[in-house]
């Protein structure tokens, strides 16, 4: 893909035109000082510089579409050399035709050819190198932008995947509960289908990294808890507490669900007694702090085992979002496992 030309903007075009005009006028002045008439001075300068300007544009354009990698500078030199010779030959031919009988001028024209060629070469190579620099920078910028885009996409995909991780157990067991309720309590079955649908819809929300209020997140979480309670009604109790003042605080959506899922699994499968999962939210400095407690049996499982998929996925999400690894912490007492998550609030 060709980069944009340095002459693409009106501003650059104007600068280029003005520079050539100034240079052409300097030539006119020089020829006048050397004793040539206005018509000769103007014609010489115009023919010479218009041809040169065309050549520089050609060289610049040439480098835009053909980007040599190896022996680049040698190549540029050769191209510039040929272009300057071509432009000077053309200029000599045109001026010789124009001033056919003007021997003083023709003499001067032929004598000055080597100098004219040198100047033409210098001007063309100067423009060529500037163009080369421009295109190289342009390419680099594009590469960086592409890289940044790729990284952003990868990060978004990973975040999406992390958010989407839903235990298939949960889904199939919920469907199995519905299957039971259909004959036992049809109204209850319909209600559970509704809850499950609302929950899944919330999970599949399009807005990827959307932040939502604690109140909305807890509402979504409640759907999940209600479904789990239908499954484990006799054993599962939940206690969700948040102060009025923190309910409007923001957090990345679907952040709590995997932690609560982890706590429920840990609590329900590690004991046979009724289980209470406690969730509390409060403000600490500029952080929204949420604590999730679940019971466990210290005799049969080390709390380390609690660091299942739920915790590591949340840890990874927090890292991708904030670049920090210290926002999720776990602790335990004799038979209570606690997960604490801190969410920085934009002040």
Partner 1 sequence: MRKAIIVDDEPLARSVIREYLLPYPDIQVVQECNDGFEGIKAILQHQPDIVFLDIQMPKINGFEMLELVEQPPAVVFTTAFDEYAIRAFESHAVDYLLKPFSQERFDIAMKKWMDRASPLAAPATHALLEEAAQSPQQNQRIVVKTGSKIKIIPIDEVHYLEAADDYVKIHTKEGAFLKNKTMSHFEKVLNPGQFVRTHRSYMVNVHLVTRIEPYEKENYLAQLKTGAQVPVSKSGYAKLKTVLGI
Would you count residue 168 as binding partner 1 (CB under 8 A)? yes
Would you count residue 232 as binding partner 1 (CB under 8 A)? yes
Q: Give min distance, CB of 179 to partner 1, in A.
A: 4
Would you count residue 272 as binding partner 1 (CB under 8 A)? yes
**Pairing status of strand 211-213 against strand 250-252:** antiparallel
Alpha-helical regions (H) of the chain: 10-33, 38-65, 72-98, 103-111, 113-164, 168-184, 186-203, 214-232, 256-270, 309-322
| Residues in contact with 289: Cβ distance below 8 Å, sequence separation at least 6, in sequence order | 281, 282, 283, 340, 341, 342, 343
Q: Which is nearer to partner 1, 40 or 230 (CB)?
A: 230
Would you count residue 274 as binding partner 1 (CB under 8 A)? no
- Cβ distance 94 to 47 under 8 Å? yes
- Which stretch, 97-105, 210-218, 255-263, 295-303, contacts partner 1 (CB under 8 A)? 295-303
For 213, the 3-state DSSP assignment is strand
Q: Which two three-digit tokens encode residue 204?
A: 């599949």
Would you count residue 326 as binding partner 1 (CB under 8 A)? no
Kindly state the helix (H) or strand (E) to which residue 2 belongs, with its residue range: none
Q: What is the DSSP-derived secondary structure letter of residue 300?
A: T
Would you count residue 175 as binding partner 1 (CB under 8 A)? yes
Would you count residue 261 as binding partner 1 (CB under 8 A)? no
Q: Give min distance, CB of 192 to partner 1, in A.
A: 10
Q: Give min distance, CB of 238 to partner 1, in A.
A: 17
Would you count residue 95 as binding partner 1 (CB under 8 A)? no
Residues lying near partner 1 in the complex (CB under 8 A) = 168-169, 172-173, 175-181, 183-184, 230-235, 268-272, 297, 299-302, 305
């Amino acid at each position: 893909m060709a980069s944009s030309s340095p002459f693409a903007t009106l501003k650059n075009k104007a600068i280029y035109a003005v520079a050539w005009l100034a240079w052409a006028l300097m030539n006119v002045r020089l020829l006048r000082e050397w004793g040539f008439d206005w018509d000769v001075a103007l014609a010489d300068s115009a023919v010479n510089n218009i041809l040169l300007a065309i050549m520089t544009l050609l060289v610049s354009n040439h480098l835009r579409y053909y980007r040599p990698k190896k022996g680049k500078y040698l190549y540029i030199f050769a191209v510039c050399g040929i272009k300057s010779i071509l432009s000077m030959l053309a200029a000599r031919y045109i001026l010789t035709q124009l001033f056919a009988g003007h021997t003083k001028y023709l003499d001067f024209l032929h004598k000055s050819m080597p100098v004219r060629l040198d100047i033409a070469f210098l001007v063309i190579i100067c423009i060529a190198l500037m163009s080369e620099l421009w295109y190289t920078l342009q390419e680099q910028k594009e590469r960086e932008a592409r890289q940044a885009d790729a990284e952003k996409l990868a990060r978004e995909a990973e975040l999406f995947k992390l958010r989407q991780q839903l235990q298939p157990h949960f889904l199939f067991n919920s469907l199995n509960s519905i299957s039971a309720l259909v004959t036992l309590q049809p109204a209850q079955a319909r209600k559970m289908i509704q809850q499950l649908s609302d929950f899944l819809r919330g999970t599949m929300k399009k807005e990827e990294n959307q932040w939502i209020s604690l109140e909305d997140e807890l509402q979504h979480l409640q759907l999940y808890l209600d479904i789990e309670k239908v499954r484990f009604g006799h054993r599962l109790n939940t206690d969700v507490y948040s102060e009025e003042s923190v309910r409007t605080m923001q957090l990345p959506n679907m952040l709590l669900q995997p932690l609560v899922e982890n706590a429920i699994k840990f609590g329900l499968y590690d004991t046979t007694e009724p289980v209470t999962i406690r969730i509390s939210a409060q403000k600490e400095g500029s952080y929204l702090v949420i604590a999730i407690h679940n019971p466990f049996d210290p005799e049969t499982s080390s709390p380390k085992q609690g660091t299942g998929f739920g915790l590591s996925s949340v840890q990874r999400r927090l890292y991708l979002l904030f670049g920090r690894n210290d926002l999720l912490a776990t602790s335990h007492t004799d038979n209570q496992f606690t997960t604490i998550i801190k969410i920085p609030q934009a002040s």
